[in-house]
Structure 1
């Protein structure tokens, strides 16, 4: 239990928060670059410049730390996407395009975030299953709230179509993370928007083809 005594100008609570933040920062890089399974507690402690004992004052284990890193990535991404949607024109098409564009742009702005959210979350196994499902549900809810029951959507299927949209974007980003020659980000965005518009019957053909609706 932390006490209120000051040490080098910091209270015990502040020292604990500082160590926790240093571990989160170290894990953000190590889990993304070396991978979760290859990153030991000793390596994390060395990078964060804390003792093994101090580690367990902050987290119960590597799994607990991985969950915290993943959850922070998801929370930051949700905030960015929600803001982009809120600033877009009020029609559903514009808002969904803004949300998709911001999701892809924000996640890929830092490759570490992209790898943790779309690659290491799967490689880490069961420890992130519930957290990943909660993230998927959160992004699905954002799409549903934006869409409502759009004309062209199958009646009662908006949830399933929104869920499929989340899955499609995730797979596109996995391809971007793993590809030796990653596709241009604008191609990912165009493809994701095209999938959305085709799903809801608002785009007859692939962008650039005859009769298509331009982005």
Structure 2
């Protein structure tokens, strides 16, 4: 009976997973350094050391590959922020400061992550708009949960404020990514905290 193993002792499924991870690694660097629009499938395949045919066994196109990278970045960031908030004192102010500090610190630890999450995903076009909006909604939900107990804020208004604050945070990170002289991270964090605390006055 055929085992489905090649000369390296990998099953077909393992080979596919390996190629997929190599493509993700190649795209993570290329999308961030030369940009999504300038990165061709041929360039990605050369960096990942696979054939063009193998590319389409893993992803339907560059947009699908960008989606996978973006969603991985978002998931990792959400986990980091949720952990920081969970370990913070229970008052809303402390939770917000912990969450913002964790978000800004984590996404900027690797410049590629910051660029992909806040710039290149937009350049990927309308095909990724729904994925970006789901990510915005997930971060807004964390804000809403962190501010549970703030008086005089009905849920509908809280949701809109949370969405607006996510947008403000994204613009701060876009400035960080694009600026010739990026602002210090502590200034980004202080500014974000100022915006959030002034919005809710606590």
TM bucket (normalised to shorter chain) is over 0.9
How is 1:1-215 mapped onto 2 (pairs within 5 angstroms)? 5-7=4-6, 8-151=8-151, 153=153, 156-202=156-202
Which 4+ residue blocks in structure 1 deviate beyond 3 angstroms? Answer: 152-156
How far apart, CA to CA, are the structure 2 residues paired with 1:200 and 1:50? Answer: 52
CA 1:127–1:4: 2 relative to 1, 3 Å: farther
Give deviations 1:93-133, integer Å, cap 9, x for gaps: 11111000000000000000000000101111112100000
Q: Which runs of 5+ in 2 are unaligned?
A: none
How far apart, CA to CA, are the structure 1 residues paired with 2:155 and 2:113? Answer: 36
Q: Is the 8 A contact 1:19 1:48 kept in 2?
A: yes
How far apart, CA to CA, are the structure 2 residues paired with 1:165 and 1:141? Answer: 11
User: Which deviates the most, 182-191 or 4-13?
Assistant: 4-13
- TM-score, normalised by the number of residues in structure 2: 0.95
User: Which deviates the most, 155-164 or 49-58?
Assistant: 155-164
How far apart, CA to CA, are the structure 1 residues paired with 2:154 and 2:20? Answer: 47
How far apart, CA to CA, are the structure 2 residues paired with 1:87 and 1:128? Answer: 33
Q: CA deviation at 1:151?
A: 2.6
How far apart, CA to CA, are the structure 2 residues paired with 1:127 and 1:35? Answer: 17
CA 1:155–1:115: 2 relative to 1, 3 Å: closer
How far apart, CA to CA, are the structure 2 residues paired with 1:12 and 1:154? Answer: 53
How far apart, CA to CA, are the structure 1 residues paired with 2:110 and 2:158? Answer: 31
How far apart, CA to CA, are the structure 2 residues paired with 1:61 and 1:142? Answer: 32
Give deviations 1:48-82, integer Å, cap 9, x for gaps: 00001110110111111111111111111101101
Q: Which runs of 5+ in 1 are unaligned?
A: 203-215
Aligned residues: 200
Q: Is the 8 A contact 1:4 1:12 kept in 2?
A: no
Greater share of residues in helix: 2
Q: Say what the alpha-carbon RMSD is for the aligned residues.
A: 1.4
Q: CA deviation at 1:9?
A: 1.2
Q: Is the 8 A contact 1:152 1:200 kept in 2?
A: no
CA 1:4–1:152: 2 relative to 1, 3 Å: farther
- TM-score, normalised by the number of residues in structure 1: 0.90
Q: Is the 8 A contact 1:31 1:120 kept in 2?
A: yes
Q: CA deviation at 1:92?
A: 1.3
